[in-house]
Amino acid sequence: MRIPRFLFLALVLGVGSSSSAAGLRSIAGRAAAVVRPFFSNFPIPPVSSSPYHPANLRRHYELAAADKSAGEKFYQLLAEYKDRDGLVLAYKGASEAIRARDASMFNKLTYVQDAAKTFDQAVSIDPQNPEIRFLRFSVESNLPAFLGLSKHVDEDKGLLLNAALKHPGTGLDAEAFRTVRGFLVGRGHVSEEEAQRLNKVKE
């Protein structure tokens, strides 16, 4: 599995009153500056004709993180998905989170709440899938605390930390492992001792 390296784009999901608009623009600007370098090389072309194949969903997500129109296409692709594949539902939640990024201030909260419900459904179907947990964690860990929608941060972080420390035996390929480790360490989600342990794990 190939997990995109920009999943912390949820920094742009600020929700609040109009008085916080300047702060939200600042957050979005910082997020864009961090995300942009990761788009110099897009993944290989899709390997399946199914729009819901993981490789296709990851490519859509990567494009959506860089471009508003691509974000809209990603959202529309998954808006009508009604089946019960946990990973597809997790990407549906990610598309709703991106929709919140691009929505008007009035509608941001609705899409964030939709994403939270979709992530919870995905986890209930496939609770041990690290990619699902990473998608939810990357969004929840960047939401404003006052929303009360970051209930699973510690749980998801624990599962991701355990999966990374036990690599390669927990379903993370080398690139996914680097992504998870880089996110946990680089974003300060683990202690110094945990970071040292992660850095000793071979890819």
User: What is the pTM (predicted TM-score) of this model?
Assistant: 0.76
Q: Evaluate if residue 9 carries a pLDDT over 90.
A: no
Q: What integer pLDDT is reported at residue 47 of this predicted model?
A: 52
What would the pLDDT profile of 53-67 be if each residue is shown by its tens digit? 888 888 898 899 889
Q: What integer pLDDT is reported at residue 86 of this predicted model?
A: 96
Q: Please, are residues 160 and 130 in contact by the beta-carbon 8 Å criterion?
A: yes
CA distance 15 to 113: 11
194, amino acid identity: E
Look at 38 and 117; give whichever has higher pLDDT.
Answer: 117
Q: Please, are residues 57 and 88 in contact by the beta-carbon 8 Å criterion?
A: yes
Q: Please, are residues 90 and 83 in contact by the beta-carbon 8 Å criterion?
A: no
What value does the CA radius of gyration of the chain take, rounded to a whole number of Å? 16
CA dihedral sign of residues 63, 203, 150, 36: negative
Look at 191 and 28; give whichever has higher pLDDT.
Answer: 191
Q: What integer pLDDT is reported at residue 48 of this predicted model?
A: 62
Q: Evaluate if residue 22 carries a pLDDT over 50.
A: no
pLDDT band at 176 (very low <50, low <70, confident <90, very high): confident
CA dihedral sign of residues 135, 119, 116, 141: negative
Q: Evaluate if residue 10 carries a pLDDT over 60.
A: no
Q: Evaluate if residue 1 carries a pLDDT over 60.
A: no
